[in-house]
Amino acid sequence: MGKAERKKQILDSAARLFSSRRFDEVLMDDIAHEAGVAKGTLYSYFPDKEELYFAVVFEGLSQLNSTLEALPDRQMEPDQQLREVMHAIVAFLRKNRFFFKLLFMEDNKGEGGRGEYRRRWHQERHHQMDVIEAVLAKGAESGVLDIRCLHVEAQILRGMVQSVLHSYHRGQVTAEEMVDVIMRVFLDGVRVRP
Amino acid sequence: MGKAERKKQILDSAARLFSSRRFDEVLMDDIAHEAGVAKGTLYSYFPDKEELYFAVVFEGLSQLNSTLEALPDRQMEPDQQLREVMHAIVAFLRKNRFFFKLLFMEDNKGEGGRGEYRRRWHQERHHQMDVIEAVLAKGAESGVLDIRCLHVEAQILRGMVQSVLHSYHRGQVTAEEMVDVIMRVFLDGVRVRP
Amino acid sequence: MGKAERKKQILDSAARLFSSRRFDEVLMDDIAHEAGVAKGTLYSYFPDKEELYFAVVFEGLSQLNSTLEALPDRQMEPDQQLREVMHAIVAFLRKNRFFFKLLFMEDNKGEGGRGEYRRRWHQERHHQMDVIEAVLAKGAESGVLDIRCLHVEAQILRGMVQSVLHSYHRGQVTAEEMVDVIMRVFLDGVRVRP
Amino acid sequence: MGKAERKKQILDSAARLFSSRRFDEVLMDDIAHEAGVAKGTLYSYFPDKEELYFAVVFEGLSQLNSTLEALPDRQMEPDQQLREVMHAIVAFLRKNRFFFKLLFMEDNKGEGGRGEYRRRWHQERHHQMDVIEAVLAKGAESGVLDIRCLHVEAQILRGMVQSVLHSYHRGQVTAEEMVDVIMRVFLDGVRVRP
DNA sequence: GATGAATGAGCCTTCATTCAT
DNA sequence: GATGAATGAAGGCTCATTCAT
């Protein structure tokens, strides 16, 4: 079997487990078993449990970033473009349910631990926010969106994505429907206008 | 020293530590040291580390719930009432920064682990959502809010609180200002209307 | 039980085991069992197996050095004084059979491994050779001994001690008898003179 | 490549490594790398690591024994003959620096471990001592040497060889010079005679 | 009741050994 | 026969938990 293939297999199994149990509740034995390899094999792909964990996290993050970067920069209305970005994120996180959990687990983690990784995490995570912020900024410039504090509105959007995914995750709701909800509330709010 | 006092001291120390490091990175020694008691003492207040952890989590959750229940049920416009509820939540989480992290960590945790606690967690957490949903429902009934799927809009609000706290956490922003942002976006959205 | 007492107990047990089996053949479990403590206890006295090993070695070495330093500096013939030093060494090594083996094992170890310890070993070991060399030098000055290369003659003496202990170790020979042999051969050689 | 040639290559590499690091610090990987073969290959020449180690040790020992056996039995004065034997030993150990260490490491090893090998080791080692003892005995018979306890004097000689090699090992001293020192001290001692 | 030294179950990690290529 | 990726037994070490003081 190809090395890359096997590495992917391990990362997937680890993602599955790490996303549903605490770090200390996931045994290297479990991961090995889930991946269908011997425990020792894990160590020829990752130096230790900690690194495997971070590899899982960063693997997901860069896939998400790649997805966003691959988005065509077609000319379109800012709200249309925002919808596209949202759709890409929501679709990705729906397909990668395990990563979804890890993503928000990491987001809420304290500053303790390996500063090295915290730093890299925030950096990569910013990349994403940048994409969102860029669209919002364009909308603001063209007078379509009322953005008061770019960073905060972008974060709010992120929070909405998280909570919508959270509340719909067990249902049979499509990505489109989720995006509809997000766009409606974010763009127009819930207040009935006279 | 009063037993209750000491117990509180332990819970606080544990909250501080659990909110900034992984469960397995927080040692009973650390907690004891932080709380200024001997390790063995922890065990006369809590049966084991796991229970201490859940005690911390549920302690925070019930305080938040108490805060919400204590809210006077004065007659007022639904949006005013929503603002009050939001303010109570935001103010509480600002004051209990450690619990804020734990709260959202737990929210994003998988289904693994002690089902017993997961169940109780969701139940208590629901209590909170119920308060929010009640206000939203009232607003919908009175024709002021356009609520399509109560549960989802409530979750969105929750996500917004989380992300606003997240993005403002290091700044010198008041709870009022945070609520302003949340209310503005949630009620009216960011689209500029002609 | 006193901490020092327990530490001594561990060092002794470890010495006993390390002197009769390869490092990797001695399990921490074995040492704990031999010392009558739990495995974990070992780690509150020594940071790891390696350090415990070196502690054993250096403990022996400093005891030997102390013994030599405690030797009175009475005025006496160089050969008498040499005999005293030899006797002290031989007696010590007879009483500390386990250390005897470790001592010479370490002497013949390669340069690999923690340079830190190799350095310290050679330094402490030198201390001993210095004592021997001092006596030989005095003998040379007073014209009693024909020393051509102080360092080498001292080493030879050391080699003789080792081999005499080695060959007599299972017998019922006293330290005095061993020293007699050493002194006879070292001072006069085995050639019959006309 | 010839099998014998490759086996020699492996033994040499192993000797080099085993003589400078602890058994457990020498990995089969290291040996394979040093010998320029794959790890698996080691196992087609030696059943396991332990056996490879003993093969190294016994290989050295039999070479030394062969060297001694090859010594011509010419008629000569006992001290001359002793000098020849010493020279053979010293020269061999100088040329086989790695084995020199292993030799004395093994000598000082405890009784633990595979009794099988310990027994064989002592037996083979005795062979050597026998050669030395034979010469000493001849010297004693012819009244040239004052041997009191054949076995012990032989051991002393062995200790002297070890320590002289030890102290001179980094210098540029010839085997002849080493033997000179040994013979001088062993035969005549260091006491100045009136 | 509080303490913290001692305990030992449990898990991460290593590395000798195997075997499919 | 040679190779080196995969294996998994074994052991060092940690740390939650206990209990004698």
Closest CA to B180 of B156, B164, B158: B164
Q: Are B132 and B157 in contact (CB under 8 A)?
A: yes
Å from the B32 CA to the E3 C1': 11
pLDDT at B127: 87
| Residue B109 one-letter amino acid | K
What pLDDT digit, counting tens, does each position of A2-61 carry? 788 899 999 999 999 999 899 999 999 999 999 999 999 999 999 999 999 999 999 999
Interface touch A105/B108, C-beta < 8 Å:
yes
Ranges of chain C whose pLDDT falls below 70: 1, 110-114
The spacing between the Cα labelled CA in D104 and the C1' in E19, in angstroms, equals 38
Q: How far is D67 from chain C (nearest CA, A)?
A: 23
List the single protein residue with the shortest CA to C1' distance from E11. Answer: A27
Shortest distance, CA B109 to any CA of chain A (angstroms): 7
- Mean pLDDT value across residues B70-95: 87
Confirm whether any atom of chain E, the nucleic acid strand, is less than 7 Å from CB of D48: yes
D chain contacts of residue C177, beta-carbon cutoff 8 Å: none
Q: Which two tokens stand for residue D57?
A: 């040790």
Residues 30-69 of B with CB under 7 A from strand E: 37-41, 43-44
CATH code of the domain made up of A57-188: 1.10.357.10
Name C191's Cβ contacts closer than 8 Å, sequence gap at least 6.
D79, D144, D145, D146, D187, D188
Lookup: tokens for C180: 């007699």
CB B60 within 8 A of CB B14: no
Ordered alpha helix ranges (H), chain D: 3-18, 28-35, 39-42, 49-69, 78-95, 97-107, 115-141, 150-168, 175-188
Residue B110: the pLDDT is 62
Q: Is A147 on the interface with B (CB under 8 A)?
A: yes
Residues 127-146 of B with CB under 8 A from A: 136, 143-146
Task: Indicate yes or no: CB of C105 within 8 angstroms of CB of D108.
Answer: yes
Note the CA–C1' distance, A58 to E19, in angstroms. Answer: 35
Q: Suggest the residue from C25, C100, C156 to mutate for an interface test with chain D (most D CBs closer than 10 A).
A: C156
Q: Which residues contact D18 (CB under 8 A, 6 or more apart)?
A: D26, D53, D56, D98, D102
Q: What is the pLDDT of residues B46-82, one digit of tens each?
A: 999 999 999 999 999 999 999 988 887 777 888 889 9
pLDDT at B112 over 70: no
Give A88-137 pLDDT, tens digit per residue: 999 999 888 888 888 888 877 766 556 788 888 888 888 888 999 999 99
Contact D186/C at CB under 8 A:
yes
CATH topology match: A1-47 vs A57-188:
no
C39 CB contact with strand E at below 7 Å:
yes
What length is written for chain C?
A: 194
The pLDDT of residue D111: 61
- pLDDT score of D14 more than 90: yes
Chain C residues near residue D151 by CB distance under 8 angstroms: 167
Please report the pLDDT score of residue A126 as a whole number.
87
- Nearest protein residue to E2's C1' (by CA)? B41
A chain contacts of residue B148, beta-carbon cutoff 8 Å:
181, 184
Is C147's CB within 8 Å of D24's CB? no
Spatial distance from the CA of B38 to the C1' of E4 (Å): 7
- Answer whether B22 sits within 8 Å of A21, measured CB to CB: no
The pLDDT value recorded for residue C67 is 92
pLDDT at A103: 86
**Pair C106, C57: CB distance under 8 Å:** yes
Q: Encoding tokens for residue D46?
A: 């030696």
- For residues B120-151, b (16+ Cβ closer than 10 Å) or e, as one string? ebeeebeebbebbbebbbebbeeebbbbeeee
Q: Does B163 touch chain A (CB under 8 A)?
A: yes
Domain ranges of chain D: 1-47, 57-188
Pair of tokens at residue A50? 């900690």
Cα separation, C86 vs C160, whole angstroms = 10
Determine, for residues A167 and B189 on separate chains, whether the beta-carbon distance falls below 8 Å.
no
CB A11, CB A55: distance < 8 Å: yes
Chain C residue with minimal CA distance to D168?
C152
Nucleotide nearest to B26 (CA to C1'): F15
Q: What is the pLDDT of residues C1-23, one digit of tens each?
A: 688 889 999 999 999 999 989 99
pLDDT, tens digit (0-9, with 9 covering 90-100), for C50-61? 999 999 999 999
Question: Alpha-carbon distance A138 to A77, whole Å?
Answer: 9
CA-to-C1' span, A187 to F20 (A): 68
- Is D187's CB within 8 Å of C187's CB? no
pLDDT at A86 over 80: yes
d(CA C84, CA C70): 12
Binary contact (C163, D143; C-beta < 8 A) = no
Position D145 scores a pLDDT of: 93
Q: Separation of CA D9 and C1' E18 in angstroms?
A: 23
For chain C positions 3-32, those within 8 Å of chain D (CB to CB) are 19-25
Chain D CB contacts of C110 under 8 Å are 19-21, 101
pLDDT tens digits, D22-33:
999 999 999 999
Neighbours of chain C (3+ CB pairs under 8 A): D
Q: What is the pLDDT of residues D110-137, one digit of tens each?
A: 665 567 788 888 888 888 889 999 999 9
Q: Tell me the one-letter amino acid at D159.
A: G
The gap between B9 CA and F19 C1' (Å) is: 24
Other C-beta atoms closer than 10 Å to the C-beta of A5 total 9
Which string of DSSP letters, residue by residue, matches C53-122?
A: HHHHHHHHHHHHHHHHHTS------HHHHHHHHHHHHHHHHHHTHHHHHHHHHHHT--S-S-HHHHHHHH
Q: Which member of D149, D159, D187 has the closest CB to residue C160? A: D159
- A with B: 3 or more CB pairs under 8 Å? yes
Class of domain A1-47: mainly alpha
Distance, Å, C48 CA → E7 C1':
17
**List of chain A residues whose C-beta atoms are within 8 Å of the C-beta of residue B22:** 22-24, 109, 113
Give the minimum alpha-carbon distance from D71 to chain C in angstroms, rounded to a whole number: 23
CA distances from D10 to A178, C45, C158 (A): 66, 41, 34
Over residues D64-120, the pLDDT tens digits come to 999 988 887 777 888 889 999 999 999 999 888 888 888 888 877 766 556 778 888
